[in-house]
A and B are shown apart, each in its own frame.
Chain A
């Protein structure tokens, strides 16, 4: 019965599709942020005719209402004004589109599941949206080696389901898995809920195929675990957010599906105890620990209020932790989890908790954690930051911001995130976009993070929203080399302009 249990049940994974924000569309990004349009050609009827001929029926969208689904981001904080969406079905079509655009200096915005949290996946002006959604073939699965080769437009959850039937799993999992596409995950080097265990995509992507701005196809679709030949070019396309090329195919290393999963949800009184619990979890659960997440009291309150989710604990606590183990023997794992729980209770670190290996309860507990972003943006404008900080400073930013914003009209300031990865999501919730709050927050939060030697974007990337602030986490020498690489690979700057760089 445990064998039949997938990584997680399906209901929560689909929430992004079900969910439609009640908030209205934001104003145009170009206006709100006063952006100057680059000197790109404006798409016209001749271009449209070419693309229609190239991509055939269903490959081109020009209807303005339909286009808007591709213009607005998931959080509704940015909006472009593209009137042309292209939906290629093959690498050859992507190549032809890019070559045509490069020759005519038409700007493109590659888009996957459009779940970016930094405005990286929607156009800023009238860039042509290159939607990868129709490239969704799973090409090959090597069950023994644990490798899947697929096209970039596969939905993460679909890949996971495909693999779970073969006792394998994707090495990445995140709240948006029902909507996000693997090509987007790789292009943004997305992190997620199990990075702690399986590492990031630079390690898990064995090979890839990408199309450069001039239409050249770069074939690095290696499927071997070890290949130390030449420059490791795949890394150029992992995390470069579609500015150096468009990823079209991938080979991904897949761990075995765990046979036993336990989830403990804990209530704690202060942040010091959260850190102690993490330290003990690493020690006691080392080889089976697969996730270590935390959230504060306000986050839980909002999940309960906005979405009607239920606190898994009967008591209210200042902090909550979710600890997951994945292993190959349920009774062994339960023994370890029990010993860990007894220890944290004996030491007076944890006051209240629940532990389970039951799939439906595991799902309910995870749902609270995974739907926090949704809960917070349901009725509020969300200033969302995704930072890495040394663990000792991990939560202090929330208090710092509370003080810094005390004279602003702020509803809530919340913190939750991937404790095990030193990655905190900090949210400032306001009733609507508030320029004063924005000015107070930026660059303050980035300066603070930089001062603490943290990263201003732990896993969400730079996108549009953080492009101005890249220098807080990257030295000028590094940015200069990035610019040179961009010039070499995309001399006309047609790929995802206004993103990553300013």
Chain B
């Protein structure tokens, strides 16, 4: 036992050692939704400021860090961009569980991507924390062949307790806003409750970083 404890302490010391950056908040954001709705393009628009034409299907899960500033605080967003295709569904499910925010994306010019939303919600119910911040995003508003009117998306979001936003990754419309408001909202939640844990494996890093726990919605509705 003694040996084990010693090694845990050593591990802790080393962990502190490797923290090279100073940030106060770290939030995990996971994007889900049918294939081809523009999840990867939303992420790339936000993280790299570009729109990759002819973006191939995501296979597996891509992940990246984006550091932003909210109310003079450094916030790190850990973004997990999952594959939309059915065959990768089982893989992406494991990424729901530790998410602080789930962005469910559909394509406003493609009815079937909207029709699948209840299926995605069922997955979210089953695998994600019930306190996860859920955002419904209707992407591709640059397109002229819209099939889903804004109010239909809005209604759906409202009925399911989700925030709602329409975006265009191509025209960079509302993309920055989407992520920044998620960051602000999660920060607000974290401050409301100041719970420094998320599941058991997330610790307060270096005493400076706060991950949010079962904070619940704080009554803020910046996104709607």
Interface residues of A (CB under 8 A from B): 276, 279, 283, 313-315, 331, 334-335, 338-339, 341-342, 345-358, 360-361
Contacts and interface: CB of A to CB of B under 8 A. Distances in A.
B63 A352 contact: yes
Q: Give the top 10 A-B pairs by smallest Cβ distance, nearest first.
A: A356-B60, A361-B59, A348-B21, A352-B64, A354-B62, A358-B59, A345-B78, A351-B65, A276-B18, A347-B18
A283 B52 CA distance: 36
Nearest to A342: B98
Given A314-B48, A338-B94, A356 B19 contact: no
Contacts of B72: none
Contacts, number: 70
16 contacts: A276-B18, A314-B44, A315-B64, A334-B91, A338-B98, A345-B63, A346-B205, A347-B18, A347-B19, A348-B76, A350-B65, A354-B61, A354-B62, A354-B63, A355-B61, A358-B60
Nearest to A314: B44
Contacts of B11: 283
Contacts of A276: 18
A315 B48 contact: yes
B78 A346 contact: yes
A353 B62 contact: yes
A315 B63 CA distance: 11
B28 interface: yes
A361 B87 CA distance: 13
A358 B47 CA distance: 25
B60 A352 contact: no
Given A315-B48, A334-B94, A338-B95, A345 B65 contact: yes
B141 to A, nearest CB: 23
B88 interface: yes
Contacts of B78: 342, 345-346
Nearest to B62: A354
B20 interface: yes
Interface in B23-73: 23, 26, 28, 44, 47-48, 52, 59-65
Contacts of A350: 65
Given A348-B65, A352-B64, A361-B59, 13 more contacts: A279-B14, A314-B44, A331-B90, A338-B95, A338-B98, A341-B63, A345-B65, A346-B78, A346-B202, A348-B20, A348-B23, A348-B76, A360-B59
A349 B98 contact: no
B146 to A, nearest CB: 28
A331 B61 CA distance: 14
Contacts of B62: 313-314, 353-354
B63 A353 contact: yes
A353 B23 CA distance: 21
Nearest to B44: A314
Contact of B201 (A339, A348, A358, A360): A339
Contacts of B224: none
Tell which of A313, A345, A349, A350 has the most Cβ of chain B within 10 Å: A345
Contact of B26 (A346, A352, A353): A346
B170 to A, nearest CB: 16
B87 to A, nearest CB: 8
B18 A342 contact: no
Contact of B59 (A334, A342, A356): A356
Contacts of A347: 15, 18-19, 205
Contacts of B44: 314
Interface string B84-118: 00001011001100100000000000000000000
A339 B202 CA distance: 10
Given A341-B63, A345-B78, A358 B88 contact: yes
A353 B64 contact: yes
B15 to A, nearest CB: 7
Tell which of B20, B76, B95, B98 has the most Cβ of chain A within 10 Å: B20
Contacts of A348: 19-21, 23, 65, 76
Contacts of A353: 62-64
Contacts of B59: 356, 358, 360-361
A192 B52 CA distance: 36
A343 to B, nearest CB: 8
A237 B67 CA distance: 56
A354 B21 contact: no
Nearest to A358: B59
Given A347-B19, A351-B65, A357 B48 contact: no
A352 B98 CA distance: 18
A342 B65 CA distance: 11
A249 B59 CA distance: 42
Contact of B64 (A279, A334, A351, A361): A351
A346 B19 CA distance: 9
Contacts of B98: 338, 342
A283 B8 CA distance: 12
Contacts of A349: 18
B199 to A, nearest CB: 10
A422 B214 CA distance: 44
Nearest to B16: A347
Contacts of A339: 201
A356 B18 contact: no
Tell which of B21, B64, B90 has the most Cβ of chain A within 10 Å: B64
Given A315-B48, A348-B19, A342 B91 contact: no
Contacts of B14: 279
Given A331-B94, A342-B98, A355 B63 contact: yes
B105 to A, nearest CB: 18
B52 A314 contact: yes
Contacts of A335: 94
Contacts of A357: 60, 91
Nearest to B66: A351
